[in-house]
């Protein structure tokens, strides 16, 4: 995906099932037209229980942002994770300038772990 605007852009939305933990592995790269690169690696755990909204559990086991793209173009913390609509887990990238165009690629792995309440 190439982004050429000032925006927080969702790149992936996944509905989370109830009574399930999710270990999520996130690997995102970015490159600008001159070849400057950025990389983001995160490992996070989210869960839903009893029909509730998704909750973040603990801390990000990363994040490991590395970038030589100007911070006037992408934010220092240029990846955000949100649950803005119901049961969805959303990964966003944050761009701060309309130019240059930034190309993002990503791999996100979800490991669902069903879990019921303790008796």
> Mind listing the pLDDT tens digit for each residue in 5-55?
788 888 888 889 999 999 999 999 999 889 999 999 999 999 988 888 888
Establish if 6 belongs to a structural domain: yes
Q: Which residue in the block uniquely carries the two structure tokens 């994770």?
A: 81
Establish if 29 belongs to a structural domain: yes
In whole angstroms, what is the distance from residue 73 CA to residue 6 CA?
9
Which residues span the domain enclosing 69? 2-114
Establish if 119 belongs to a structural domain: no
pLDDT in tens, 54-86: 888 888 888 778 888 887 788 878 888 876 567
Tally of domains in the chain: 1
14: its two tokens: 């996944």
54: its two tokens: 């998704």
Planar angle of CA 111, 95, 89, nearest 5 degrees = 25
Establish if 57 belongs to a structural domain: yes
Do residues 94 and 75 lie in contact, with contact meaning Cβ atoms separated by under 8 Å? Answer: yes
CATH number assigned to the domain comprising residue 73: 2.60.40
Establish if 86 belongs to a structural domain: yes
Establish if 45 belongs to a structural domain: yes
């Amino acid at each position: 995906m190439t982004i050429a605007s000032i925006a927080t852009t969702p790149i992936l939305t996944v509905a989370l099932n109830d009574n399930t933990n999710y270990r999520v592995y996130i690997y995102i790269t970015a490159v600008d037209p001159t070849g400057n690169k950025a990389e983001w690696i995160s490992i996070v755990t989210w869960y839903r229980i009893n029909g509730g909204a998704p909750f973040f559990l603990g801390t990000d086991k990363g994040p490991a942002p590395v970038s030589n793209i100007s911070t006037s173009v992408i934010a220092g913390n240029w990846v955000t994770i949100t649950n803005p609509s119901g049961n969805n887990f959303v990964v966003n990238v944050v761009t701060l300038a309309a130019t240059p165009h930034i190309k993002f690629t990503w791999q996100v792995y979800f490991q669902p772990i069903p879990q019921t309440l303790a008796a």
